Amino acid sequence: MVLLLCGAAVHSFRFDELIKYVDDHQEEYVQTLREWVAVESDSSDVTKRAELYRMMDMVGEKLRKMGGKVELVDIGEEQLPDGSSLALPKVVTAQFGSDVNKPTVCVYGHVDVQPAQKEDGWATEPYNLTEINGNLYGRGASDNKAPVLAWIHAVEAFKALDMDLPVNVKYLIEGMEETGSNGLDAMIKSQKSTFFSDVDYIIISDCGWLSKRPALTYGTRGNCYFFAEVEGPKQDLHSGVYGGTVIEPMTDLIGILDTLISPSGTILIPGIRDAVAPFSDEEWKMYQDIEFDVESYREKIGVEQLMYNNKVELLAHRWRHPTVSIHGINGAFSAPGTKTVIPAKVTGKFSIRQVPDMDPAVVEKQVTDHLHSVFAKRKSPNKLKVKMIIGAKPWLADIKHSLYEAGKAAVKRVFNVDADMIREGGTIPIARTFQDVTEKSIIMLPIGGFDDGLHSQNEKMSRVQLSLGMSLTYCRPCEPNSCFVCTGHEWLVAKSHVPVLPKHLPQNTPGNTVECLLQIHKAHVD
Ligand SMILES: CC(C)C[C@H](NC(=O)CN)C(=O)O
């Protein structure tokens, strides 16, 4: 939370009050996160849609209570595979201040989550925020509920103290990010000349650091998500009775999925790499300077071998080369027992993370043509249907833009180290739309840690990481026209902010606040 809540208008006396208020309310912030995590706002599961609607209402209510001008924007319906339709969760927009003499910052985030069940291998109940050794475990804790709340609480502190916000702040919080931000493109287009007309900057904290070093994110990969359905007999069959007499849909599906990517990671779809931007010497040099330890990355994941052992190659394949991942097969027998079935219809789910300058429409054609071509060669009587479900574009920012200069200055002032300039291998579907449609500058400021387990078992947000991230939020009082919000060039961030440290950590570590926090953080993650 960077930022921007820095204030020409804030006197140091009042600034101390602000810091104290935030520190004094840490437990309430965690309690609100607990309430938000308790909502199973899984956007991929239509049976959980009521929870998602409830989640959006909670966000709207929270912002309304803070005195914001809040709207729950209807973004229409989604068509389900069975032909029926279902209302999309409303998008929450909120506005705090409309002073034409102040810049306006729009914070984007999402409060939907990926699926999670205890049986997937979680050590705790995924929807019951549980603190263990300073880590707050729960689905959505890092992706993206805590970062969204951090931004909300930053403004709430100003409001609670009846302090003038030095910038106008807008929020746009959605509930379909994890399934491709359905409906949001259209909403942004339709509100270009209304909600977005006075927005100067867009800030996204839906990403994490790469290591123990603070980072700024300047690129994300896109995602083209496919369903490949193979349909054969009219119902499931006994493999003893029918096996050997029918051409099985599952055999066809595994056969075609195996033509997508080689064991060593080469994508086998013709033409797919044609539009990939060349990896420049400048990029190579940048990647070399980034703090990242390949061996500890390998160990943390728990694999014996990675695809690349060289740091630059590994980062490049994580951020700026495309890849294919196979996620699952619907209709396949997957229970622990030994059912001897021949499934009649199976749907393979896979996605391609794409990079500049790939285009989802082109990828869709390349993948569809390829799968139909390899399927035809099998001469199977079964039917193949290929459908692209998500077509989210990659996003890349200009790191020479003053917004990134401002971000670097803020990190330097808070942490006393230079930010690593990183990209994200994952996708924030709406980032590119913001860029293309609103033509505003976007910065991604990671708050999450490098090992938060996003989309995985035991997702967490550590209290220390949250404190470190939050210290970016508070800017010290500055002279008019000298801070980022006034000039667009610099964030002035308080060095004097001393967050309340988790009680189990040493309270009397010597050194200044920043060194102290970094030492504690290091001890905590080592
Ligand atoms: C299109 C994807 C489902 C989006 C998803 N985004 C994030 O995880 C960002 N929080 C992804 O898988 O990258």
In three-state form (DSSP H/G/I as H, E/B as E, the rest C), the secondary structure along 178-240 is: HHCCCCHHHHHHHCCCCCCCCCCEEEECCCECCCCCCEEEEEECEEEEEEEEEECCCCCEEHH
The reply to whether the predicted model has a pTM over 0.90 is: no
Residue 6 clears pLDDT 60, i.e. is over it: no
Identify the CATH number of the domain defined by range 223-277+320-392.
3.30.70.360
Task: Say if ligand 1 is within 6 A of residue 97 CB.
Answer: no
Taking CA atoms only, the protein residue closest to ligand 1 atom 6 is 427
Task: Say if ligand 1 is within 6 A of residue 351 CB.
Answer: no
Residue 523: band (very low, low, confident or very high) from pLDDT cuts 50, 70, 90: very low
Largest CA distance in the chain: 83
- What is the whole-number distance in angstroms between the Cα of residue 177 and the centre of ligand 1? 7
Task: Tell me what the mean pLDDT of segment 512-522 comes to.
Answer: 40
Atom number of ligand 1 nearest to Cα 143? 10
Question: Residue 470: its pLDDT value, please?
Answer: 64
Atom number of ligand 1 nearest to Cα 180? 1
Q: Which residue has the tokens 């009680």?
A: 503
Tokens representing 475 are: 């800017």
Question: Residue 111: its pLDDT value, please?
Answer: 98
Residue 197 clears pLDDT 50, i.e. is over it: yes
Atom number of ligand 1 nearest to Cα 353? 13
Task: Say if ligand 1 is within 6 A of residue 143 CB.
Answer: yes
* 20, 498 contact by CB (below 8 A): no
Residue 218: band (very low, low, confident or very high) from pLDDT cuts 50, 70, 90: very high
Residue 233 clears pLDDT 70, i.e. is over it: yes
Q: Answer yes or no: same fold for 2-220+419-472 and 223-277+320-392.
A: no
* 216, 408 contact by CB (below 8 A): yes
Task: Tell me what the mean pLDDT of segment 357-364 comes to.
Answer: 98
Q: What's the pLDDT tens digit per position in 97-129? A: 999 988 888 999 999 999 999 999 999 999 999
Residue 468: band (very low, low, confident or very high) from pLDDT cuts 50, 70, 90: low
Which range has the worst mean pLDDT, 206-215, 364-373, 428-437, 514-523? 514-523
Ligand 1 pocket test target in 178, 352, 353, 423 with most atoms within 8 Å of CB: 178
- What is the whole-number distance in angstroms between the Cα of residue 429 and the centre of ligand 1? 7
Question: Residue 22: its pLDDT value, please?
Answer: 78
Question: Residue 353: its pLDDT value, please?
Answer: 98
Residue 469: band (very low, low, confident or very high) from pLDDT cuts 50, 70, 90: low
- DSSP label of 145: I
Annotation says 177 is catalytic: yes
Question: Residue 414: its pLDDT value, please?
Answer: 65
Residue 481 clears pLDDT 70, i.e. is over it: no
Question: Residue 500: its pLDDT value, please?
Answer: 38
Task: Say if ligand 1 is within 6 A of residue 390 CB.
Answer: yes
Q: Which of these is catalytic: 78, 177, 248, 452?
A: 177
Annotation says 174 is catalytic: no
Q: Which residues contact 361 (CB under 8 A, 6 or more apart)?
A: 391
Looking at residue 310, its amino acid is: N
Task: Say if ligand 1 is within 6 A of residue 392 CB.
Answer: yes
Going 519 to 520 to 521 to 526, the CA torsion angle's sign is positive
Mean pLDDT of the chain: 86
Domain boundaries, the chain: 2-220+419-472, 223-277+320-392
Atom number of ligand 1 nearest to Cα 181? 1
- DSSP label of 42: B
Q: For the domain 2-220+419-472, what is the CATH superfamily, name and number? A: Zn peptidases (3.40.630.10)
Please classify residue 193 by burial: count the beta carbons closer than 10 Å to its beta carbon, then call 0-12 exposed, 13-18 middle and 19+ buried. Answer: exposed
- b/e map of 376-391 (b: 16 or more CB within 10 Å)? eeeebebebebebebb
Task: Tell me what the mean pLDDT of segment 197-216 comes to.
Answer: 91
Among 159, 15, 22, 141, residue whose Cα is nearest residue 97:
159
